[in-house]
């Protein structure tokens, strides 16, 4: 490719492409490790499209073809059509409502023959394009609340729709775009606010209401004491502290219970309480109708994480070896081809293998940020940041879930998890970035 | 636009790095720091399949297997494979209905899940197994699985052999995890005592299982597997034919007998009545039989030969004589002027069977005529012997003699749960009599009464000491263990010769033994005589009382008998107790006689077979058991009503209502004065002991 078509390869970032190949290779190997049965003819089952690793292999070839097409496309095409794609994405999401098929507790999948399409998954690509387009407009002044609101709306509209389709996991992914906005000048206070809110919610779950109330109040009192000089000069500060105190108390007393009783589904609440090892205190009051029997769901979730931790933990320092994992080979970890694929690596190659694997991911993310920062065009930079953020979010949530640091949220590990849609979406996303990067000398708006 | 935000790139990089760092920390924690996950993974995926060894076989002295192994079959089902089968046909074969079939299938699914085989019906009777074996191919998912089972070809020696049962949680805990759930463990008898020898060594085959618990292959190509080593066989001193005869003679009697080979301490036969068939605790009905026997007040599972406590009565007299001779308070020529009762203590007790002058003119005559006064006197002379200085020291010395004869201490037989009988310590008498007592207080100890109690095993062992003229070996069953080596210490203690009384001269022993031979030839046990064999023996008869319905009831006397033969070269020593059956010579003596003849001549004379039938057909079960059983059952029903509120069981025992069966309370007995020396005395084994509340002189 490199030699025959110098026009395509010119400016293409080969480091990213090699890292991509490496990751997809690891992915197919992991799926092979998880699903290969002794005495299967290896070559034959790799080509027959019947086994999961064979299918993933063909998905990879399709992805490559698609990637090649993207590299052949003029990069202006993406800036020009960004908004169109966004509209198409939203329409697809809306089409799900009348045409969905219920699969595994989610209503977000359209089935065309044997092919399942999950628009909420694909749509993050379109959101990335549209957000980059909006932020790169000359007239967008991102320090103004109006622009901030519009950017938030672009990002969160698909998220809200997918929540309505009981697909909370993918909806969460859209929050990763706030990292892009942060890079483009969203005031840091938003990030701090979000972080504080998260801490407050976690504290509400962990601490007794009375203790939390006392803690918040003491923090407020200490803050007042430290700032007593400034307060003398500026009376408004007193109100500000009071307001923050009031908001915090209101959040912990009213907002969090409301969230857990009326917004989240029961099994999601259970998952969160499983993670922190507490009994769900809202179990009887939750009014949100579960999609499926939440009892079996809860048992499964607990079981999944437990088995996943056992599999990863049993890997030890160097792992048990290729195709020798007893946990992953005999289906102890459910969903291990898809969401829990990391168990295979953890068990087979141990801490060393997992460390190398994480390093590859980290190198990819680092490289993407480097690429983003070297863009002259805002659109390309925003888009590249979007790719990094989405990848990062997927990796972080997925890995944390398998090692018991996050509640069970069913989102795939990019390039590794079995699944055609996921692989195709991430490939297209990455190759659009590579195409944009190859044209970084051109000024795009 | 936003070039001035470039520093934020660093912040984003920092966020990425921080999160990756946290993930790596947790991975380090899971994979390097925690060791439990490896073990959990092993538990998940590796199944140690235990390979059970065959338990050892137990042989008698002639090499007949008393306890053997056989194969029985379990019908096993794998629910997931048992689909679309001819349920009706299978139900007809098993003689169950379809509801029962469905119930068992559900149970199987519930117990082991649909993918693993569970027992559908265990220990199939042979006829059912034969029927199923022919047709099993028609029912996919069902299979017949072999299971080794203990079997007793002679239907005998239940109390000696004991039984095996599944290890319960307490056994597992005590063994520190050596035993696992589902293991079979010897629970009593030789099975328990020689558990380590009999069980052999379990083998383990490590198998890989999948998430459905299906075994999918061997782990690491079997490199960690260990083979099973079969248990070792035991060779015993038991003569199974004598044992069978002994059990036959004890049919429908309460009591026990022990026959020991004096030269070795090897036990030839040991029977306890009531008895049970050992095969009842191995077959398909073992649970039912076990429950039934547990609730029986007659205690068929109790081995009275080692756990029953009996006053030796007159059978003690040869021992008393030897103590007197050794202490030098009497000689072979000592006599006692007995005129029908012992008057030296003022109350004229104990009474004596004979009152003709000269029936206790010397030691030999006193044994042959069983003179109570003579032995009360010997006892008093022994404990009041001036060289000890006071009755308490004298009694302590006398007690030492008893211990030397093996009374009041456990013999150390190779059976678990042996009882030790009772020779009370001086402190017991001090407590009961508030420190004021003398040799008159407990003078009936001299005739084997008062608080003295012994097990039939101890009496037989004491006979061995007399027969051996002072030495004995700890009574035991097992002669050798197959494949025994120096590392085996199990049998070592049975090879040690104990010589507690060899200092007594042979002449003194001969005198006592002659007296015992006179008992057979001229005295109370003439029925025992076997032509051509000189037997030394002593009968005993002890009065029995028992508190029933809060009243003291006099029961029929216990019939006691001890003997050994032949006199010149003792080969068998026997002690027999038949509870509540009368004189020692009536039941206990003929039983011992038959056993001696069988063992020494290897056969019984034809005319003696009639005697065997007469004795075995006689039912001497005390009538009070019926009343006790009623009390026991009705109070259990009452407890059940208290727990569950269900009174249907209780109704059966109430007077009103149809079909109530209430045995009449025992007839009123004439009030007997309670002898003061029994106040405050507590019998050692409260559950099974027929409590002796009154000690009266014996006659025999």
Find chain B residues with C-beta within 8 A of A184's C-beta. Answer: 1-2, 5
CB B231, CB B198: distance < 8 Å: yes
- CATH topology classification for B242-277+303-475+524-617: Beta-lactamase (3.40.710)
Question: What digits encode the pLDDT tens for the residues B182-191?
Answer: 678 898 999 9
B12/A183 Cβ within 8 A: yes
Find chain A residues with C-beta within 8 A of B37's C-beta. Answer: 309-310, 312-314
DSSP B558: E
Question: Cα–Cα distances in Å, from B248 out to B243, B280, B603, B615?
Answer: 9, 17, 15, 9
Candidate from A311, A317, A388 with C-beta closest to B41: A311
How many angstroms away from the CA of A243 is the closest CA of chain B?
Answer: 29
B30/A312 Cβ within 8 A: yes
List the single residue in A with minimal CA-CA distance to B1. A378
Question: What digits encode the pLDDT tens for the residues B384-431?
Answer: 988 888 889 999 999 999 999 999 999 999 999 899 999 999 999 999
What pLDDT does A287 receive? 55
* B637-666 average pLDDT score: 69
Which residues of B fall below an 8 Å CB-CB distance to A? 1-2, 5-6, 8-9, 11-13, 15-17, 19-20, 22-24, 26-28, 30-32, 34, 36-38, 40-42, 44-46, 208-211, 216-217
Number of C-beta neighbours around residue B452 at 10 A = 26
A354/B31 Cβ within 8 A: yes
- Between the ranges A293-307, B231-245, B340-354, B549-563, where is the mean pLDDT highest? B231-245
Q: Which of B10, B19, B35, B41 best probes binding to A when mutated, by most A CB atoms within 10 angstroms?
A: B41
Please report whether residue A286 resides in a domain: yes
Same domain, A232 and A159: no
d(CA A86, CA A89): 5
d(CA A119, CA A90): 9
Same domain, A175 and A224: no
Is some CB atom of chain B closer than 8 A to the CB atom of A292? Answer: no
How many angstroms away from the CA of A15 is the closest CA of chain B?
Answer: 18
What pLDDT does B673 receive? 41
Candidate from A307, A378, A405 with C-beta closest to B1: A378
3-state SS class at B454? strand
- Between the ranges B42-46, B56-60, B177-181, B446-450, where is the mean pLDDT highest? B56-60
Greater confidence, B284 or B519? Answer: B519
Same domain, A137 and A230: no
3-state SS class at A195? helix
CB A331, CB A315: distance < 8 Å: no
Confidence bin at B465 (pLDDT 50/70/90):
very high
- First CA to last CA distance, chain A: 30
Q: Judging by DSSP bridges, how do beta strands A100-103 and A106-112 pair with one another?
A: antiparallel
Please report whether residue A145 resides in a domain: yes
How many angstroms away from the CA of A289 is the closest CA of chain B?
Answer: 30
CB B366, CB B377: distance < 8 Å: no
Same domain, A90 and A146: yes
Instruction: Indicate whether this model's pTM tops 0.90.
Output: no
d(CA A153, CA A211): 37
Nearest one of A17, A14, A29, A134 to A82, comparing CA atoms: A134
**Which pair of structure tokens corresponds to residue B27?**
């991975």
ipTM of the complex: 0.88
Question: Cα–Cα distances in Å, from A152 out to A177, B8, B265, B406?
Answer: 9, 19, 98, 98
Instruction: Give the E-state strand segments of A180-257 in sequence order.
Output: none
CB B261, CB B467: distance < 8 Å: no
**Can the peptide bond before residue B350 be classed as cis, meaning omega within 30 degrees of 0?**
yes
Please report whether residue A324 resides in a domain: no
Confidence bin at B570 (pLDDT 50/70/90):
very high
CB B155, CB B278: distance < 8 Å: yes
Phi, psi at B479, each rounded to 5°: -80, -50
Q: Which of B30, B36, B43, B115 best probes binding to A when mutated, by most A CB atoms within 10 angstroms?
A: B30
How many angstroms away from the CA of A118 is the closest CA of chain B?
Answer: 27
CB A332, CB A307: distance < 8 Å: yes
Please report whether residue A302 resides in a domain: no
- Between the ranges A162-171, A208-217, B106-115, B507-516, where is the mean pLDDT highest? B507-516
Confidence bin at B666 (pLDDT 50/70/90):
low
A392/B45 Cβ within 8 A: no
Last residue of a domain, one of A273, A294, A315: A294
Is the predicted pLDDT of residue B634 greater than 70, yes or no?
yes
**Can the peptide bond before residue B566 be classed as cis, meaning omega within 30 degrees of 0?**
yes
Q: Which of the listed CATH numbers 3.90.1310.10, 1.10.3720.10, 3.40.190.290, 3.40.190.10 matches domain B42-64+154-236? A: 3.90.1310.10
Same domain, A164 and A252: no
| CATH 3.40.710.10 intervals, chain B | 242-277+303-475+524-617
Candidate from B9, B31, B40 with C-beta closest to A369: B9
Residues 127-156 of chain A whose Cβ lies under 8 A from any Cβ of chain B: 140, 142
**Which pair of structure tokens corresponds to residue A102?**
């219920």
3-state SS class at B535? coil
**Which pair of structure tokens corresponds to residue B240?**
């199974």
Residues 24-53 of chain A whose Cβ lies under 8 A from any Cβ of chain B: 38
Q: Which of A34, A313, A358, A359 best probes binding to B when mutated, by most B CB atoms within 10 angstroms?
A: A313
Say which CATH class B71-148 falls into.
Answer: alpha beta
Nearest one of A374, A387, A390, A391 to A439, comparing CA atoms: A374
How many angstroms away from the CA of A186 is the closest CA of chain B?
Answer: 10
Is some CB atom of chain B closer than 8 A to the CB atom of A225? Answer: no
Find chain A residues with C-beta within 8 A of B11's C-beta. Answer: 182
Last residue of a domain, one of A73, A96, A111: A73
Same domain, A82 and A182: yes
To which residue do tokens 């057909």 refer?
A: B617
What pLDDT does A293 receive? 46
Helices (H), A10-144: 14-35, 42-47, 52-72, 76-99, 119-136
Same domain, A85 and A179: yes
Instruction: Please give the tally of structural domains in chain A.
Output: 3
- First CA to last CA distance, chain B: 126
Please report whether residue A365 resides in a domain: no
d(CA B270, CA B596): 13
Find chain B residues with C-beta within 8 A of A392's C-beta. Answer: 16, 19
A314/B40 Cβ within 8 A: yes
Q: What is the three-state SS of B334-372?
A: CCCCCCCECCCCCCCCCECCCCCCCCCCCHHHHHHCCCH
3-state SS class at B695? coil
Question: What digits encode the pLDDT tens for the residues B252-311?
Answer: 999 999 999 999 999 999 999 899 999 988 877 888 898 899 888 888 999 999 999 999
**Domain membership of residue A40 as a residue range:** 1-73
Is some CB atom of chain B closer than 8 A to the CB atom of A190? Answer: no
**Can the peptide bond before residue B274 be classed as cis, meaning omega within 30 degrees of 0?**
yes
CB contacts < 8 A, A to B, total 125
Please report whether residue A336 resides in a domain: no
| CATH 3.90.1310.10 intervals, chain B | 42-64+154-236, 71-148
What pLDDT does B462 receive? 95
Q: What percent of chain B has pLDDT over 90?
A: 39
**Which pair of structure tokens corresponds to residue B394?**
């004298």
Same domain, A103 and A150: yes
- In terms of phi and psi (left: phi > 0; alpha: psi -120 to 50; beta: otherwise), the region of B167 is beta
pLDDT along chain A (445 residues), means of 10: 55 92 95 82 80 90 94 90 94 86 74 79 92 88 85 92 84 90 85 82 78 86 85 82 86 80 74 71 59 49 80 87 76 79 92 96 95 91 95 94 85 91 93 92 60
Number of C-beta neighbours around residue B478 at 10 A = 22
Q: Which residues pair with A47 in a beta bridge?
A: none
To which residue do tokens 């020991």 refer?
A: B260
Q: Which of A141, A314, A315, A316 best probes binding to B when mutated, by most B CB atoms within 10 angstroms?
A: A314
Q: Judging by DSSP bridges, how do beta strands B58-59 and B234-236 pair with one another?
A: parallel
A182/B23 Cβ within 8 A: no
How many angstroms away from the CA of A3 is the closest CA of chain B?
Answer: 35
Find chain B residues with C-beta within 8 A of A179's C-beta. Answer: 12, 15
Find chain A residues with C-beta within 8 A of B1's C-beta. Answer: 140, 142, 184-185, 378
d(CA B58, CA B72): 19
Confidence bin at B677 (pLDDT 50/70/90):
very low
Same domain, A132 and A203: no
Same domain, A174 and A266: no
Please report whether residue A319 resides in a domain: no
CB B323, CB B503: distance < 8 Å: no
DSSP A290: P
Last residue of a domain, one of A276, A294, A312: A294
Candidate from A331, A365, A372 with C-beta closest to B16: A365
Is some CB atom of chain B closer than 8 A to the CB atom of A406? Answer: no
Find chain B residues with C-beta within 8 A of A373's C-beta. Answer: 6, 9
Find chain A residues with C-beta within 8 A of B45's C-beta. Answer: 326-327, 330, 332
- In terms of phi and psi (left: phi > 0; alpha: psi -120 to 50; beta: otherwise), the region of B587 is alpha
What pLDDT does A284 receive? 61
Same domain, A182 and A83: yes
Candidate from A316, A392, A404 with C-beta closest to B31: A316
B270 alpha-carbon distance from chain centroid:
10
To which residue do tokens 């002379």 refer?
A: B381
């Amino acid at each position: 490719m490199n030699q025959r078509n110098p026009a395509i390869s010119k400016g293409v970032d080969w480091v990213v492409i090699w890292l991509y190949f490496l990751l997809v290779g690891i992915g197919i190997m992991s799926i092979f490790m998880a699903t290969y049965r002794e005495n299967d003819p290896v070559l034959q089952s790799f080509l027959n499209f019947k086994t999961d690793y064979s299918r993933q292999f063909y998905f990879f070839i399709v992805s490559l073809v698609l990637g090649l097409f993207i590299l052949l496309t003029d990069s202006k095409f993406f800036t020009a059509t960004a908004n169109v794609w966004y509209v198409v994405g939203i329409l697809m999401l809306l089409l799900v409502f009348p045409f969905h098929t219920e699969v595994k507790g989610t209503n977000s999948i359209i089935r065309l023959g044997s092919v399942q399409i999950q628009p909420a998954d694909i749509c993050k690509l379109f959101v990335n394009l549209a957000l980059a387009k909006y932020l790169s407009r000359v007239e967008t002044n991102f320090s103004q609340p109006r622009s901030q609101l519009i950017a938030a709306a672009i990002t969160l509209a698909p998220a809200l729709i997918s929540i309505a389709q009981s697909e909370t996991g993918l909806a969460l992914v859209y929050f990763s775009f706030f990292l892009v906005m942060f890079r483009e000048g969203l005031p840091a206070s938003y990030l701090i606010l979000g972080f504080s809110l998260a801490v407050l919610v976690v504290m509400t779950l962990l601490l007794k209401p009375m203790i939390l109330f006392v803690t918040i109040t003491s923090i407020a009192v200490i803050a007042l004491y430290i700032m007593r000089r400034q307060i003398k000069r500026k009376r408004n500060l007193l109100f500000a502290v009071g307001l923050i105190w009031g908001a915090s108390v209101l959040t912990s007393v009213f907002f969090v219970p409301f969230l857990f009783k009326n917004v989240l589904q029961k099994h999601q609440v259970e998952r969160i309480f499983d993670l922190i090892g507490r009994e769900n205190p809202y179990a009887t009051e939750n009014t949100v109708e579960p999609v499926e029997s939440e009892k079996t769901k809860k048992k499964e979730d607990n079981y999944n994480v437990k088995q996943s931790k056992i599999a990863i933990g049993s890997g030890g320092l160097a792992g048990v070896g290729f195709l020798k994992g007893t946990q992953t080979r005999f289906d102890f970890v459910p969903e291990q081809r898809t969401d829990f694929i990391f168990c295979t690596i953890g068990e087979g190659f141990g801490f060393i293998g997992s460390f190398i694997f994480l390093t590859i991911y980290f190198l990819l993310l680092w490289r993407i940020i480097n690429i983003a920062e070297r863009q002259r065009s805002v659109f390309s930079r925003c888009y590249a940041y979007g790719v990094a953020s989405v990848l990062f979010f997927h990796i972080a949530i997925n890995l944390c879930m398998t090692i018991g640091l996050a509640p069970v949220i069913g989102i795939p590990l990019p390039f590794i998890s079995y699944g055609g849609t996921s692989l195709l979406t991430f490939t297209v996303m990455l190759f659009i970035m590579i195409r944009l990067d190859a044209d970084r000398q051109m000024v795009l708006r | 636009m936003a070039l001035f935000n470039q520093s934020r790139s660093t912040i984003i990089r920092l966020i990425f790095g921080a999160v990756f760092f946290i993930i790596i920390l947790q991975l380090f924690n899971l994979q390097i720091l925690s060791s439990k996950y490896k073990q959990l993974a092993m538990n998940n995926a590796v199944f140690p399949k235990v390979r059970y060894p065959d338990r050892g076989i137990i042989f008698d002295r002639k090499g007949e297997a008393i306890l053997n192994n056989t194969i029985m079959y379990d019908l096993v089902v794998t629910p997931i494979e048992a689909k679309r089968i001819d349920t009706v046909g299978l139900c007809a074969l098993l003689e169950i209905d379809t509801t029962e079939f469905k119930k068992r299938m559900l149970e199987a699914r519930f117990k082991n899940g649909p993918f693993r085989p569970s027992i559908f019906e265990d220990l199939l009777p042979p006829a059912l197994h034969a029927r199923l074996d022919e047709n099993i191919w028609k029912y996919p998912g069902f299979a017949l699985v072999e299971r080794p089972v203990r079997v007793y070809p002679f239907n005998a020696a239940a109390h000696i052999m004991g039984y095996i049962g599944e290890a319960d949680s307490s056994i597992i805990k005590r063994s520190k995890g050596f035993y696992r759930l589902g293991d079979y463990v010897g629970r009593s008898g030789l099975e328990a005592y020689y558990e380590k020898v009999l069980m052999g060594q379990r083998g383990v085959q490590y198998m890989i299982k999948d998430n459905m618990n299906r075994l999918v292959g061997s782990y690491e190509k079997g490199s960690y597997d260990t083979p099973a080593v079969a248990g070792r066989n035991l060779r015993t001193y038991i003569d199974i034919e004598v044992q069978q005869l002994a059990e036959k003679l004890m049919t429908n009697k309460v009591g026990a007998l022990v026959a020991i080979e004096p030269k070795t301490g090897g036990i030839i036969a040991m029977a306890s009545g009531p008895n049970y068939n050992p095969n009842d605790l191995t077959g398909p009905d073992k649970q039912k039989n076990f429950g039934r026997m547990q609730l029986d007040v007659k205690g068929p599972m109790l081995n009275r030969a080692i756990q029953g406590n009996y006053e030796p009565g007159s059978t003690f007299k040869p021992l008393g004589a030897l103590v007197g001779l050794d202490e030098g308070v009497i000689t072979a020529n000592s006599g006692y002027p007995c005129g029908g009762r012992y008057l030296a203590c003022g109350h004229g007790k104990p009474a004596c069977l004979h009152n003709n002058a000269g029936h206790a003119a010397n030691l030999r005559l006193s044994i042959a005529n069983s003179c109570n006064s003579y032995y009360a006197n010997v006892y008093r002379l022994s404990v009041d012997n001036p060289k000890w200085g006071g009755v308490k020291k004298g009694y302590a010395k006398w007690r030492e003699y008893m211990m030397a004869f093996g009374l009041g201490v456990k013999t150390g037989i190779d059976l678990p749960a042996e009882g030790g009988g009772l020779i009370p310590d001086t402190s017991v008498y001090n407590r009961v009599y508030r420190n004021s007592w003398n040799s008159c207080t407990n003078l009936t100890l001299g005739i084997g009464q008062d608080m003295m109690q012994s097990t039939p095993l101890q009496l037989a062992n004491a006979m061995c000491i007399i027969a051996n003229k002072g030495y004995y070996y700890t009574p035991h069953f097992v002669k050798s263990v197959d494949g025994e080596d120096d590392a085996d210490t199990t049998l070592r203690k049975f090879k040690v010769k104990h010589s507690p009384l060899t200092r007594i001269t042979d002449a003194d022993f001969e005198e006592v033994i002659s007296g015992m031979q006179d008992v057979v030839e001229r005295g109370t046990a003439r029925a025992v005589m076997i032509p051509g064999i000189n037997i030394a023996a002593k009968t005993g008869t002890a009065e029995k009382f028992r508190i029933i319905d809060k009243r003291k009831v006099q029961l029929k006397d216990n019939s006691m008998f001890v003997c050994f033969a032949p006199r010149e070269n003792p080969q068998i020593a026997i002690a027999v107790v038949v509870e509540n059956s009368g004189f020692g010579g009536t039941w206990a003596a003929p039983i011992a006689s038959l056993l001696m003849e069988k063992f020494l001549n290897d056969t019984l004379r034809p005319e003696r077979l009639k005697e065997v039938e007469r004795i075995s057909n006689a039912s001497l079960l005390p009538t009070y058991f019926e009343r006790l059983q009623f009390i026991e059952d009705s109070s259990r029903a009452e407890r059940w009503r208290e727990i569950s509120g269900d009174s249907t069981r209780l109704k059966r025992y109430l007077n009103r209502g149809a079909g109530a069966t209430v045995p009449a309370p025992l007839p009123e007995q004439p009030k007997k004065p309670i002898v003061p020396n029994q106040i405050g005395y507590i019998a050692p084994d409260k559950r099974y002991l027929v409590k002796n509340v009154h000690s009266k002189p014996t006659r025999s």
